[in-house]
Amino acid sequence: MGDEVLLDPNVVLDLLLDRAPWSASLAPVIRASSDGRLELWVAGTTLTNVFYVARKMVGAARARDAVHACLNGFKVAAVNEWVLKDAIALGGVAFEDDVQIAAARAEGPDGVLTRDPKGFASSSVAVWDPETFGSLLAAP
């Protein structure tokens, strides 16, 4: 496990909207980030997804607050032509998951934190679920 991880959109939404029961498993990740032991990343496309979902759940004003929180709390991995071409070449079942992998590959995070590791089965970067990653953070 490295010291940089890219959060997939569902994990970001769990965190920002405190979506139970998943948000509780993110406490060690947030603690490690607050302590400076872990750098959190999101793909640029995650911000549009966060706004779209949050607007439907909590309204436009809080959705904008959620995007501001991402911009202030996370590093943003560019999603440009190269990343999209890399993602489409990965040939996974879910293009949106391949974009997360390609963004991590392009920017340097050590892996992706997701609630759906099975969707990243052919990933060339490490993939963790929040519980496993939290355990790794707690290990000496």
Q: What values do phi and psi take at 18, rounded to 5?
A: 50, 50
pTM over 0.85: yes
Q: pLDDT (tens digit, 9 = 90+) per residue, 69-118?
A: 999 999 999 999 999 999 999 988 899 999 999 999 999 899 999 999 98
pLDDT confidence of residue 93? 86
Measured between alpha carbons, how far is 20 from 131 in angstroms, rounded to an integer?
14
Helix (DSSP H) and strand (DSSP E) numbers for the chain? 7, 5
Residue 6 has pLDDT above 90, yes or no: yes
pLDDT confidence of residue 76? 97
Contacts with 100 (C-beta within 8 Å, 6 or more apart), sequence order: 6, 8, 43, 112, 114, 120
- Of the pLDDT bands very low, low, confident and very high (cuts 50, 70, 90), residue 119 is confident
Q: pLDDT (tens digit, 9 = 90+) per residue, 41-71?
A: 999 999 999 999 999 999 999 999 999 999 9
May I ask the CATH architecture of the domain 4-138?
A: 3-Layer(aba) Sandwich (3.40)
pLDDT confidence of residue 1? 56
